[in-house]
Amino acid sequence: MAYLYDVKVKSIDVANKTAILDIDTIHPDAMYFSNNLAFAIRLIRDAALGDSPIAKSFDMNCLFDNNWLKENARGYITKCELNEVRASGETEIKNNGKEAYWRGETDNASAMITVYFASSLWMQHLNTKSNWRSSAYPATVEFVDRAPIDPSNEIPDFSDDYANSGGWVLVKSETLKATDSLWPKEVFIPIYTEKSYRRSTKLSGADLNKSTLEELLFKTVFALGRNGIKTFGILVPRGDDYYSVISFSKGGYSESGYKIPDVLTLGASEFNVNDSAKAVRFGA
């Protein structure tokens, strides 16, 4: 896809989670500016390198998926304002009831927009010297109101102190009717407490796919959904491209289901092997 715009950061305010961008057209097909959230998130993501939080959070292919944009755009960018357009001829910013926009045919046009971020980490890759090219364009979808996706809410790495861990559960496959044929006859699983589990790997974006999840089946994992819900437990299959994380306690178990697009991060977890003497029998 050809680049349409040259983008520069005019100013940045980390405390208020805002950035003002100057945009210049560099291609004849660049005939519009917009406060559309898809336009904004595509602009911002085009500036991100592989080690930045927003680059790790979602794959570029998500930006071509209108359903993903509909469900998630407001989780990263809460608002975008089209403040100014500079071009020869008519430059009035119009509003169709859904977005503010300018569209025209000209060799050279510029605009200034203000982007409001859900978390300052989503703008961590930007500074006042940032300059990049973008192929951004709007999306004709109704963006869903949702809670901000805030990576600072992720559970940090856990302490090596497992003195207060919850112990273990000896699970017999016959107690899990939906997975009888898939489980070994019995397996020791650490009870869900934050002291029991610790992340050892972390997958996100393009690394979250059917192949990588298949490698984690029936292993202890940590999962963070795009809805902000965090889960520790055993990863099990539940159908085509659908998985569950089962968490255990002494009295029973709970289950959280995920499709791959629903997951923000997922990875293997390790646990306190020194607690095996505390095992209790599940379902006894």
Domain extents in the chain: 5-149, 168-281
- CB distance 3 to 134 below 8 Å: yes
The tens digit of pLDDT for each residue in 48-107 reads: 876 688 887 877 778 888 888 998 999 999 999 999 888 887 778 888 877 888 888 777
If pLDDT is split at 50, 70 and 90, which confidence band does 253 have?
Answer: low
DSSP letters, 73-140, are HHHHEEEEEEEEEEESS--PPEE-SS-EEEE---S-EEEEEEEEESSGGGGTT--TT-EEEE------
Q: CA of 76: how far to CAs of 80, 163, 209, 271, in Å?
A: 11, 38, 22, 32
Predicted local confidence at residue 79, as pLDDT: 94
DSSP-derived pairing of the beta strands 168-172 and 280-281: parallel
Q: Would you state the structure tokens that stand for residue 202, as one six-digit string?
A: 């972390």
Amino acid at 266: L
| Contacts of 207-210 spanning 24+ positions with Cβ under 8 A | 208/260, 208/263, 208/265, 208/266, 209/260, 210/241, 210/260
**pTM of the prediction?**
0.56
What is the distance between the alpha carbons of residues 197 and 270, in angstroms, rounded to a whole number?
6
Which 8-state DSSP code applies to residue 55?
H
To the nearest whole percent, how much of the chain has pLDDT over 70? 73
Looking at the domain 168-281, which fold is it?
SH3 type barrels. (2.30.30)
Q: At residue 179, does pLDDT exceed 60? A: no
Taking residues 101-117, what's their average pLDDT? 87
Predicted local confidence at residue 261, as pLDDT: 85
What is the distance between the alpha carbons of residues 20 and 115, in angstroms, rounded to a whole number?
6
Q: At residue 269, does pLDDT exceed 50? A: yes
- CB distance 192 to 271 below 8 Å: no
Taking residues 179-207, what's their average pLDDT? 62
Q: At residue 173, does pLDDT exceed 80? A: no
